[in-house]
């Protein structure tokens, strides 16, 4: 099977590409219709080849290599106290960060 004869059983036509472009509301030039038709044929052929490779004796996987849990255990560590956290703030008030109001009074 080659890119010229995709496993999809047929060739994607310019009309089909134009139809898909209209559905997706894409502006496509006449030259792009030819280009995209050829590219879509290659993509469909490649996907079909992947489907041929999948055999019943090969279990489905989500990753190429086995994964291990990489999480560290939760441990308490010292953090910033309130004054340290507010030390770099442009404005603080009553022990909290002061930020500009973004909602009106009625909200």
Residue 71 lies in a domain: no
Residue 24 lies in a domain: yes
Taking only the tens place, the pLDDT of each residue in 14-52 is: 899 999 999 999 999 999 998 999 999 899 888 888 877
Q: Which structural domain range is residue 24 located in?
A: 14-53
Residue 89 lies in a domain: no
Residue 25 lies in a domain: yes
Decide: 44 and 6 in contact? Cβ < 8 Å.
yes
pTM of whole model > 0.75? no
Domain CATH code at residue 22: 1.10.20.60
What is the DSSP track for 39-107? HHHHHHHHHHHHHHH--TTS---SSSS-----PPPP-------HHHHHTT-S-EETTEE-----S-TT-
Residue 31 lies in a domain: yes
Residue 63 lies in a domain: no
How many domains would you assign to the chain? 1
What pLDDT, on a 0 to 100 scale, did the predictor assign at position 84?
94
């Amino acid at each position: 099977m080659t890119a010229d004869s995709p496993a999809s059983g047929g060739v994607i036509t310019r009309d089909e590409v134009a139809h898909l472009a209209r559905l997706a509301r894409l502006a496509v030039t006449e030259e792009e219709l030819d280009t995209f038709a050829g590219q879509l044929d290659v993509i469909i052929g490649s996907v079909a080849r992947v489907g041929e490779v999948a055999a019943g004796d090969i279990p489905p996987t989500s990753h190429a290599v086995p994964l291990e849990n990489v999480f560290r255990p939760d441990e308490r560590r010292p953090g910033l106290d309130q004054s340290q956290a507010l030390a770099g703030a442009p404005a603080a008030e009553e022990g909290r960060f002061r930020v500009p109001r973004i909602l009106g009074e009625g909200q």
